[in-house]
Amino acid sequence: MGRYFSSDAALKVISVLVALVMWMYVMNEQNPQVTYVIRDVPVQLKYLDDSKLALKDPTQQYFVNVKVRARRSIITGLKAEDIVAEANLRGRIEGENLLPVSVNVPAGVELLDFSPREIMVVLDAVVEEQMPVYVDVKGVPAEGFAARTPVATPQAVLVKGPRTLVNSIRRAVVELDVTGKNGVVTATLPVRVVDAKGNEQRGVTFRPDMVEVTVPIVPVSTVTVRPDLRGQPLEGFVVREVRVEPSVVMITGNSDALKNIREISTEPVNISGLARSIAADAELQMPRGILPFDEALKKVKVVVEIERVQSRTVSFSSSDISFRNLGEGLTAVPEEGQFVLTVRGPESIINKADKNSVEIYADASGLGEGEYSLRIRAEVPEPYQVIRIEPENVKVTIQKDYRAGL
């Protein structure tokens, strides 16, 4: 009986050994161990203290290639996301950090190698900075109105983020459309933070993210500025040109009052006895209740060019004389003659004075047919002045104009 059981146990052991050999044969021949490289396994950055540090480039990704060995059936279904690659950011500093990478593989898979074993991670300090809010006013108000300087409440936002990103921000912006408006416009608007090119900067936070904006829309009018010159230059000198910078200004105030204002004068500018050009800052003389639209505009510059005076004679004939205010159906026939006009002006432009730049005329107001001796007059553009005309009178016959009925 004992011999029977002994042989039975031996058979069982032999059967197990045969089965094991057969299993090993099948596994090695049908599902063998294979070596494989899993590429582009993403590296997870762990334990970053994001209250103090941030990735300088948040879009930067890190990868390793992992060499493993496992049964073919396991390798076939193995993916990059099944492997865990990590880099520990605890205790790191701003700037470049060379970090070791650790890799863990699933059960049944043997880790042989991976590369790179270290990655360079660049960190930025997290900083906060106040940025003023700039209000970008869009559109054109109603005719006769203009938008004054907008006011944002609060006037600044606190921006927080990586130092590089925060430093690239130039301002916080809100946009308000005032098209067709004719009164105060108030709105609560979202804030955007932008770089020097006006591109919205992401990757930062800011507070508040909404601000209240008020834009006064006021009645306006554009008027010329008239310089108030007092006195005359030194004898032998003349004012060649007067310029005001700016020559026109925008004013604001009561709408009815604005309708009656065409120009604004400066405070008096004294040129008495001057023999040289001057430039003087002069305050604007605003009527009561009227203000410059530009609140910073308190004065304008008055430039007075003064030159030595020279005289010049201009010859003309009676045919160059025009006759003004002739009665209807009448014509004037002057006696032939030669005349000399003497003008004076700045020495730099006196040579430009000729009969083409002078209006020479005689006034025939209230005269009927007959012969007359009329005073010759001349009009010259500034800064020229008429000194005399020789002879002073022209003989003229006023008669019916027979061409009038043709």
pLDDT band at 64 (very low <50, low <70, confident <90, very high): very high
| pLDDT tens by residue, 271-282 | 999 999 999 999
383 Cβ neighbours under 8 A, 6+ residues apart: 238, 239, 240, 241, 345, 346
Q: What is the mean pLDDT of residues 49-64?
A: 91
| pLDDT tens by residue, 290-315 | 999 998 898 999 999 999 999 999 99
Residues in the chain: 406
Q: What is the DSSP letter of 194?
A: E
Give the integer Cα–Cα distance in Å for 102 and 53: 22
The two three-digit tokens of residue 316, written as one number: 């003309």
3-state DSSP assignment of residue 11: helix
Q: pLDDT at position 30, please?
A: 62
Closest CA to 221 of 245, 246, 256, 247: 256
Answer yes or no: is pLDDT of 88 > 60: yes
Q: pLDDT at position 25, please?
A: 55
pLDDT band at 150 (very low <50, low <70, confident <90, very high): very high
264 Cβ neighbours under 8 A, 6+ residues apart: 223, 224, 225, 226, 249, 251, 284, 285, 286
Q: pLDDT at position 255, please?
A: 87
Q: pLDDT at position 47, please?
A: 94
Residue 259, H or E segment:
helix 255-259
Q: What is the mean pLDDT of the chain?
A: 91
Q: pLDDT at position 256, please?
A: 87
Q: pLDDT at position 5, please?
A: 47
3-state DSSP assignment of residue 320: helix
Q: pLDDT at position 2, please?
A: 52
Answer yes or no: is pLDDT of 63 > 80: yes
Closest CA to 383 of 238, 237, 272, 225: 238
Please answer whether residues 217 and 181 qualify as being in contact, where contact means their C-beta atoms are separated by less than 8 angstroms: yes
Give the integer Cα–Cα distance in Å for 386 and 16: 138
pLDDT band at 20 (very low <50, low <70, confident <90, very high): low
CB atoms within 10 A of CB 166: 22
Give the integer Cα–Cα distance in Å for 263 and 363: 32
Give the integer Cα–Cα distance in Å for 52 and 163: 11
Q: Determine which of 29-33, 107-111, 210-214, 378-382 has the lowest per-residue pLDDT on average.
A: 29-33
Q: pLDDT at position 189, please?
A: 96
Phi, psi of 372 (to 5 degrees): -145, 160
What pTM, to 2 d.p., does this model score? 0.62
Give the integer Cα–Cα distance in Å for 356 and 336: 19
Partnered with residue 223 across adjacent β-strands are: 249
Q: What is the mean pLDDT of residues 207-228?
A: 96
Q: What is the mean pLDDT of residues 349-365?
A: 93
pLDDT band at 37 (very low <50, low <70, confident <90, very high): very high
Q: Determine the Cα angle at 98 with ends 95 and 103, to 5°.
A: 135
Please answer whether residues 146 and 137 qualify as being in contact, where contact means their C-beta atoms are separated by less than 8 angstroms: no
Please answer whether residues 145 and 106 qualify as being in contact, where contact means their C-beta atoms are separated by less than 8 angstroms: no
CB atoms within 10 A of CB 59: 6
Please answer whether residues 121 and 57 qualify as being in contact, where contact means their C-beta atoms are separated by less than 8 angstroms: no
The two three-digit tokens of residue 25, written as one number: 């044969």
Give the integer Cα–Cα distance in Å for 167 and 170: 8
Q: pLDDT at position 202, please?
A: 86
The two three-digit tokens of residue 136, written as one number: 């970008």
The two three-digit tokens of residue 104, written as one number: 């863990």
Answer yes or no: is pLDDT of 222 > 70: yes
Q: Label the pairing between strands 95-104 and 63-71.
A: unpaired
47 Cβ neighbours under 8 A, 6+ residues apart: 88, 89, 90
3-state DSSP assignment of residue 68: strand
